[in-house]
Amino acid sequence: MGFRNRIRVIIEETGIRRLYGHHSLIYWLALCLLLAAVPEVRAVTSDDDEYNSYKVRFDLYWVYSQPTGHFQSQSNFAVLGRSGTLDLDKDIGFNSYNTFLGKADWKFTHKNHLYFVAANFNQSKNFVLNRTITFQGKTYNVGAAATGTLDSLFLSPGYQYDFIRRKRGSLGVQVQINLVEITGSMAAAAQVNNGVPQAASASSGRLRAPLPVAGPIVRYYFTPRLFVEANVLGMYFFGYGNYVSSYGTLGFKLTKNLSLVGGYTLGSRVDIKTKSDRLGMTLSQHGALAGLQVSF
């Protein structure tokens, strides 16, 4: 019912029209008096009415990550078979470890975002080789005591557009550039292995690449405080490999500006195939996450 019709009902219910009949002058005079008595109402924008209303938001997550995958040199792999591959799981056996991930999101219009994500996964472990490995031109014999290190840095600027943005949530698409630097290294000190002296040796493989990715993101509020959020980002690089990452979280708003979030992340899965003499690798970082979202 429109505002004018509501005024008409008020006038009829209060008897003004019955008292004065159908005289239009009296009718419109009463209408003007009632309109003058109604206070001015400020228009509310759609952004103000949303559960997920903010201009700037900062996310900080603790991640309990488990790395798996391998590094592979094309020349070593072709000549020596599997001995040219350094397997992070079977050879080194990395354990899950604690790390952090951060995100800054600027929603500069109702549906447009610019954001930046930073994550660093770093782990080192001492182990004993259960097979002979030739990696990046260096040979490590079975039984040797060695140290394996994995260092992966992800810096990701991106853009998000929300196709649908309603009171209870949004559905959008993200496009970002992952500036990736991943290093796998192995070292063994001078030692005597099975009665044979061995000199100290060390080798490493490094991948540096800008990896463009895109995919959907959704956020939905079951109640004004309880919500879920998930995304999937990926790209196929036409014979050179692929990249995919995803997460799913459940969040609870503690206050208007502070939310507690927990869930699971396939932090990143990079699969880069070797070309000529370049390094090839497959790396996955995945595990539970928990953290805070602060919005303004």
Residues 6+ apart with CB under 8 A from 4: none
The more confident residue out of 180 and 228 is 228
What pLDDT, in 10s, does the model give residues 86-132? 788 888 888 888 888 999 999 999 999 999 999 888 888 888 888 88
Whole-number pLDDT of residue 42: 40
Q: What percent of the chain has pLDDT over 70?
A: 75
Mean pLDDT of 264-289: 75
What pLDDT does residue 205 have?
A: 78
* Res 45: pLDDT: 43
The mean predicted confidence, pLDDT, of the chain is 79
Q: What pLDDT does residue 190 have?
A: 76
CA distance 137 to 119: 30
Q: Which residue has the higher pLDDT, 23 or 92?
A: 92
Could you tell me which residues are beta bridge partners of residue 115?
105, 158
pLDDT at 44 > cutoff 60: no
CA angle (111 as vertex; 106, 114 as ends), nearest 5 = 30
pLDDT for residue 193: 63
109-133 as b/e, with b when 16 or more CB fall inside 10 Å?
eeeebebebebebebeeeeebeeeb
Q: What is the pLDDT of residue 185?
A: 85
**Most confident listed range (66-70, 193-197, 225-229):** 225-229
Q: What is the pLDDT of residues 150-170, one digit of tens each?
A: 888 899 999 999 999 999 999
| pLDDT at residue 141 tops 50 | yes
Whether 252 has a pLDDT exceeding 90, the answer reads yes
